[in-house]
Amino acid sequence: MSVIRRGILLCAAFWLPLLGVADNREDQLRAGIAAMDRQHYATAMRAWYDLASAGDPQAQHNIGYLYEEGLGVTQQYDVAMEWYRRAAEGGLSEANHNLGMMYVEGRGAAKSWAQGLIHFRKAAAEGLIESRYMIALSYFEGEGQILNRKLAFEGFRETAIEGYADSQYMLSFMLLDGTDVKRRSGQAYVWASLGLMQGQQQAQEIRDAASMRIDELETSDALFVLSQCEAVGVKGCLPALDSLR
């Protein structure tokens, strides 16, 4: 059921430190990003390496990404993990998340959800939504901790309300499936539709299945609520969404 995508997080993370930083550091980070855009990965490495060696967490994170993906360097998961670890120790939540993902996928270390969760929890404590999703997923799958669908549902719901597409998909799955939670096909239809609007393609199957379980009136109600969510955002339409069967 894992649908997390590190690539999106990494691209966003490149830009996170660019606001309110010293001009020289910003110039070096921007130079690396510009080189990445041109697929000049060795140039990106040169732009970031001095910063990383001096202890800059963002530059360390970015170099970790180059080693993880083998961009401009020989792919080395253990080296990637070391750079991510340095960045995480410097307080970068995205680096903790990526360390967690490497443990979960067994890249650079033995596969271990338990180790991954250590890093996800650190990043989640800083509010990182991707890590909060992974913690909910671990409860859903019973990986690294005891299976607990109630806590999984709560975690998916919290992050789905905040607009995280993978959580919207998983929430719709649970609402349609009805295992350990009350089946709400109308709600599943809306949550799946919201995820699909953000490019979560797996949500298409859930939306189609939900549409077959609701009658014409329920479909009309669900479409009305969906239009509200589009107009005012999920938090604004939540009372109406929760009222759907």
- Per domain, the residue ranges of the chain are 156-245
Side-chain half-sphere exposure of 157, counting CA atoms within 13 A? 14
- What pLDDT score was predicted for residue 1? 44
- What pLDDT score was predicted for residue 231? 97
- What pLDDT score was predicted for residue 129? 96
- What pLDDT score was predicted for residue 23? 63
- What pLDDT score was predicted for residue 19? 37
Query: Shortest CA distance to 156 belongs to which of 170, 145, 142, 146?
Result: 170
- What pLDDT score was predicted for residue 238? 97
**Rounded Cα–Cα distance for residues 143 and 49 (Å):** 36
How would you write the pLDDT of the chain (245 residues) with one tens digit per residue? 433 434 322 333 433 333 344 568 888 888 999 899 999 999 999 999 999 999 999 999 999 999 999 999 999 999 999 999 999 999 999 999 999 999 999 999 999 999 999 999 999 999 999 999 999 999 999 999 999 999 999 999 999 999 999 999 999 999 999 999 999 999 999 999 999 999 999 999 999 999 999 999 999 999 999 999 999 999 999 999 999 99
- What pLDDT score was predicted for residue 21? 42
**Rounded Cα–Cα distance for residues 67 and 83 (Å):** 9
**Rounded Cα–Cα distance for residues 85 and 61 (Å):** 8
Query: Shortest CA distance to 107 belongs to which of 81, 131, 126?
Result: 81
**Rounded Cα–Cα distance for residues 20 and 68 (Å):** 28
Tokens encoding 176:
């349609």
Reduce the DSSP state of residue 40 to 3 states and report it.
coil
**Rounded Cα–Cα distance for residues 214 and 131 (Å):** 33
Distant-in-sequence, close-in-space partners of 152: CB < 8 Å, separation ≥ 6: 136, 137, 139, 140, 170, 174
